[in-house]
Amino acid sequence: MGERNIGRHTRAKRPPLSRDMVVAAAIALADEAGETGVSMRAIAARLGVQAMSLYNHVSSREDVLDGMVDSVFGEIDLPASTTDWREAMRDRAASVRAALQRHHWAVGLMDSRRRPGPATLRHHDAVLGALRAGGFSVAMAVHAFTVIDSYLYGFVLQELSLPFTGPVEFGEVAEGIARDLPADAYPNLTEVLTEYTRRPDYDYASEFDLGLSMILNALQPDEA
Amino acid sequence: MGERNIGRHTRAKRPPLSRDMVVAAAIALADEAGETGVSMRAIAARLGVQAMSLYNHVSSREDVLDGMVDSVFGEIDLPASTTDWREAMRDRAASVRAALQRHHWAVGLMDSRRRPGPATLRHHDAVLGALRAGGFSVAMAVHAFTVIDSYLYGFVLQELSLPFTGPVEFGEVAEGIARDLPADAYPNLTEVLTEYTRRPDYDYASEFDLGLSMILNALQPDEA
DNA sequence: ACCTGAACACCGTTCAAGT
DNA sequence: ACCTGAACACCGTTCAAGT
């Protein structure tokens, strides 16, 4: 019982694993099954190998997560220092949001890694560079970076955790929640839900841009 | 081998479990050991019971997490509708930040629950109520709520994930990172790190207030 | 009504052994 | 140099059985 795999070792001779291959398999797995789906055993299975083999290329599951996050940072377009800083920040924010939409599991992980990889460092350096080029002092650039990223990650965190994706779904979900709610206990919540059930035009993209513009307009480079 | 526990059943007769007791034990565990420490088996052990007993009071581990999050929302002071809306929002934000500082594990969970509990609903209702009382239309109140919470949760997410708590530690950590960094590869990052190593006065609390004030000043109730 | 023992299908990680 | 089998100490959850 159980076939012996003859071919694999004689003919194909699978190329040796590498850290990058492990990380890539982990990302594919996470995109399909979420962060919880990323087990050492599942990564190994996807690579046609036993779980223990992975430890020749990564030091632990945490190490895999570090690699995954750095890989997502690598997908984000770096802001240019040559253009208007507000435009550069807007483009970068859109690129981060798009990357996190492709990799939902990453939102809560991006800022939590204690060992930033090269793509992460390059990203942070480029953001600071764009702000410095726009006339910000070091302290003000850090301040602006913090405010923008707080808004950016906080918004996407909320956006991705809600159980709908478009305006139409939003209306349906709102209607469902409103029905279940004891109406007089939460009058303001009920008011919002009925309003958006009637007129389901809530759009995440424009809501995001609105808040971001508000923040970018409130920020100003130091005067010389 | 192994002592039989005679006393427990004859003398003490432990009061029956309840959902609240399970959730409280889970929170205590999470405060000590992080979210990963919250296993059904560990919760049960803390309550002097077998893991399977918990399923008489909660339906799953997810259900426990729902309860934990609602309990944290219960610790947050509700904003008053009587005072100035900006002050109410400032106080509420401080209360959220304080609660999340007591329960680090909660940051990534607060917005991710699909089944909000009563304390969560009460909280959201009160925030909307304070904004409505301040003159915001329904749509503008939702907008303001989104912007404020994005910044709030995003800031705390970054704050709690960084490996230091005060200005002094910040200086030390910055120095350590700066030493390891290939200096010419990340000039802007290096610049920031050396600046803050020399003058380690970075203070999270005032940085938080600065960004929040910026946002609150940019927000305005609809004119009549 | 509540609690448990045994079981199932999983985890991450170590270590000595194979090639 | 790289991969593996066996083992250790864990997971969440189901189910039939106990009181």
The answer to whether the Cα torsion of A110, A116, A122, A124 is positive or negative is positive
Domain A70-218 has CATH 1.10.357.10: yes
**Per-residue tokens: B43:** 């919760």
Average pLDDT over residues A122-147: 96
**Per-residue tokens: B30:** 């999470």
Q: How far apart are CA B93 and CA B114, in angstroms?
A: 22
* A38, A64 contact by CB (below 8 A): yes
Distance of C1' in D15 from CA in B60, Å? 16
Number of residues in chain B: 224
Q: How far apart are CA B109 and CA A132, in angstroms?
A: 35
Residue spans of beta strands (DSSP E) within B147-209: none
Please count the residue pairs, one from chain A and one from chain B, whose beta carbons lie less than 8 angstroms apart: 143
Q: Do the Cβ atoms of A214 and B211 come within 8 Å?
A: no
Q: What is the DSSP letter of A188?
A: H
Q: Which positions of chain D lie under 7 Å from any protein Cβ?
A: 1-6, 10-16
Q: How far apart are CA B169 and CA B204, in angstroms?
A: 12
| pLDDT for position A200 | 66
SS3 B207: helix
Average pLDDT over residues A125-132: 97
The domain segmentation of chain A, as residue ranges, is 2-58, 70-218
Measured from Cα to the C1' atom, the residue closest to D2 is A56
Summarised one tens digit per residue, pLDDT across range A196-209 is 877 767 788 899 99
**Per-residue tokens: B126:** 């009160």
Q: Do the Cβ atoms of A207 and B128 come within 8 Å?
A: no
Distance of C1' in C13 from CA in B50, Å? 26
Q: What is the DSSP letter of A10?
A: I
Quickly tell me which residue has 């305006």 as its tokens: A167
Q: What is the DSSP letter of A5?
A: -
The answer to whether the Cα torsion of B136, B142, B147, B152 is positive or negative is positive
B150: nearest CA in chain A? Answer: A154
Confidence class of residue A40 from pLDDT cuts 50, 70 and 90?
Answer: very high
- In a structure prediction context, what are the per-residue pLDDT tens digits for chain B, which is 224 residues long? 333 333 333 334 566 899 999 999 999 999 999 999 999 999 999 999 999 999 999 999 999 999 999 999 999 999 998 889 999 999 999 999 999 999 999 999 998 888 899 999 999 999 999 999 999 999 999 999 999 999 999 999 999 987 666 667 777 777 777 777 887 899 999 999 888 877 767 788 899 999 999 999 999 998 65
Q: How far apart are CA A129 and CA A136, in angstroms?
A: 10
Q: How far apart are CA A4 and CA A27, in angstroms?
A: 30
SS3 B181: coil
Q: Do the Cβ atoms of B122 and A188 come within 8 Å?
A: no
What is the average pLDDT value for chain A, to the nearest integer? 88
Summarised one tens digit per residue, pLDDT across range A65-111 is 999 999 999 999 999 988 899 999 999 999 999 999 999 999 999 98
Residue A142 is which amino acid?
V
Q: Of the candidates B180, B212, B208, which has an alpha carbon nearest to the alpha carbon of residue B193? A: B180
Confidence class of residue A14 from pLDDT cuts 50, 70 and 90?
Answer: low
Q: What is the DSSP letter of B115?
A: S
- The better pLDDT of the pair A42, A114 is held by A42
SS3 A57: coil
Q: What is the DSSP letter of A60?
A: S
* B19, B67 contact by CB (below 8 A): yes
Q: Which nucleotide is nearest to B37 (CA to C1')?
A: D11
- Contacting residues for A3 by C-beta, under 8 A, at least 6 apart: none
Q: Of the candidates B16, B24, B9, which has an alpha carbon nearest to the alpha carbon of residue B56? A: B16
Residue B137 is which amino acid?
S
Tally Cβ neighbours within 10 Å of residue B180.
6
Q: What is the DSSP letter of A199?
A: S
Q: Do the Cβ atoms of A146 and B218 come within 8 Å?
A: no
- Model pTM? 0.91
Q: How far apart are CA A154 and CA A107, in angstroms?
A: 9
**B138-161 vs B204-218: helix crossing angle, rounded to 10:** 160
Q: Which positions of chain C lie under 7 Å from any protein Cβ?
A: 1-6, 10-16
B146, B161, B201: best to mutate for the A interface, most A CBs within 10 A: B146
Q: Which nucleotide is nearest to B58 (CA to C1')?
A: D13
Confidence check: pLDDT of A38 > 90: yes
**Per-residue tokens: A40:** 């050492």
* B72, B99 contact by CB (below 8 A): yes
Query: Are A2-58 and A70-218 equal in CATH topology?
Result: no
- CA angle A125–B157–A171, rounded 5-degree value: 110
| pLDDT for position B130 | 98
| pLDDT for position B167 | 65
CATH architecture of the domain formed by B2-58: Orthogonal Bundle (1.10)
